[in-house]
Structure 1
């Protein structure tokens, strides 16, 4: 998407005349081409921002934007934990209810199991005694928090949320109009080649 945003702007730039010519609706005789140029230009920058924040969120270790803060440090899992996974899940269910999202295995650094629920709650279960307690919710901090806010639109106002909504829809429209433009150009080139 990052590459599409940048190459799309390059292709949008008028090759003849002033660059302001690119803003005209009747730039081309076909409605789908005009739609493609206009939609592509106005959504290019928001798509670039959404793509960049999406990459940051997807690969936090690369950018140092890990939600817990700092780079993740690898710790080997405990080879033979005292509690079974089933026991851990049952103990966690006694503290908080909700659909299970994941179970974090105890490691040599932390002997606690971490049970995450779909509603965002986390429960720590001690491997040695099986005591389950609710863990504090993790909040992204620093750059990771800002990347998440920009990408999801949390507390960013209705204008940015509408832009994000359009950023999800317009690429589908660009794909359709782009294929139509490509198909038309293919037919036109075939006719030119047949004449020559």
Structure 2
């Protein structure tokens, strides 16, 4: 007896949900763990850097240029990239220097001119966490893999919402809260479904705000903006691997061979920067040519950022561009990234992000438990296929829309379809293990 059309659709969606979930769950757990750690970056960095923020002033503070010279002496052959403007008397100077296509952060006691610590920018603890989160510390290939997992997580969430949608249910149990005391099988099913519905919107937001960082999608977005004439200067966020500079270096992320400008230019720029009231941390970068120094806010809350240039010979402000002056697309991405990193609305943002990560982890663990408990011995345990439903124009249009919005999803979906049609029919053992052999009446 043939399955009803509605049942065929439900079964097909369930199979897509199963395969997407099985692929995505390890990535979701990884991203939830590393993302949660990164959400608390301000508190973690404040604790890690406490020895360099509580120095005892002894006598007058050395000039900024003298501090930079001490840092350059500690890394022979290096050149100045950025100087971080101190915000309190007890802060050590942070001087970022470059050598051999890599950056080093040097902590200098501004009173005794002692070098307190030398640290590779790429090995700073929160930079490592960020790299693990976005690229598995594997460069652009890792970024591609994370992006593919993110795209298929969208599919997992959307198909999960379809499966969750209440059908002939009484009450809210199993829909908005798990039903307890009715057996382990129902408990894990409810836990999975309820965690999924509560986290779906937040997770889709996190994925969409994380895509601009991805190597492929970020480059794709930039090309679209170029073609549509909406690109407005260098992006304020990195895409893919960055072998030379940090996340928010000047000149759009390109390394420039700076040296300390003669004649007290840095000290004049420092004197000009303090009255401007720019959100910390404030980075001062020498000119690659000409006399204009760049002053940028590297605030985690991106709507507070600004970019200013100051003439190093006179200390006069020559240009200023605040967040509000950027293109609306840049502002939209900036707000999204700030929320993604837990910086847009303070502690509440961090707590909401942490709750989202916990719900995603619950979703993954409960799904894994359900699969493990139900799977037949020696088989993958995918839902058995019924006769194929017909693909109507609405579904085809939705798939094409998702493929256009997330090209790597479209590419991997095409590969999966090709494998399903051309390769698996020639491999009966794999078909049986994957649960692709149809059930015959």
TM norm. shorter chain > 0.5:
yes
1:53-64 to 2 correspondences below 5 Å: 53-56=209-212, 59=218, 61-62=222-223, 64=225
- Distance in 1, Cα, partners of 2:255 & 2:165: 59
Structure 1 residue 114, shift from structure 2 partner: 0.2
Q: Unpaired segments of 5 or more residues in structure 1?
A: 154-161
TM-score of the aligned structures, taking structure 1 as reference length: 0.59
Q: Unpaired segments of 5 or more residues in structure 2?
A: 1-149, 176-183, 236-250, 300-304, 340-347, 379-441
Structure 1 residue 6, shift from structure 2 partner: 2.2
TM-score of the aligned structures, taking structure 2 as reference length: 0.31
1:101–1:117 contact (8 Å) kept in structure 2: yes
1:95–1:134 contact (8 Å) kept in structure 2: no
CA RMSD of aligned residues (A): 4.6
* Cross-structure match for 2:273: 96
Structure 1 residue 12, shift from structure 2 partner: 4.7
* Cross-structure match for 1:4: 153
- Distance in 2, Cα, partners of 1:143 & 1:77: 26
Structure 1 residue 94, shift from structure 2 partner: 0.7
| CA 1:88–1:182: 2 relative to 1, 3 Å | farther
Structure 1 residues 128-164: Cα deviation after superposition (integer angstroms, max 9, x where no partner): x2534374242232222233345657xxxxxxxx899
* Cross-structure match for 2:187: 31
* Cross-structure match for 1:72: 234
2:306–2:322 contact (8 Å) kept in structure 1: no
* Cross-structure match for 1:125: 310
Count of matched residue positions in the alignment of Structure 1 and Structure 2 = 176
1:89–1:115 contact (8 Å) kept in structure 2: no
**Selected match of 1:179 from 359, 365, 376:** 365
- Distance in 2, Cα, partners of 1:134 & 1:22: 67
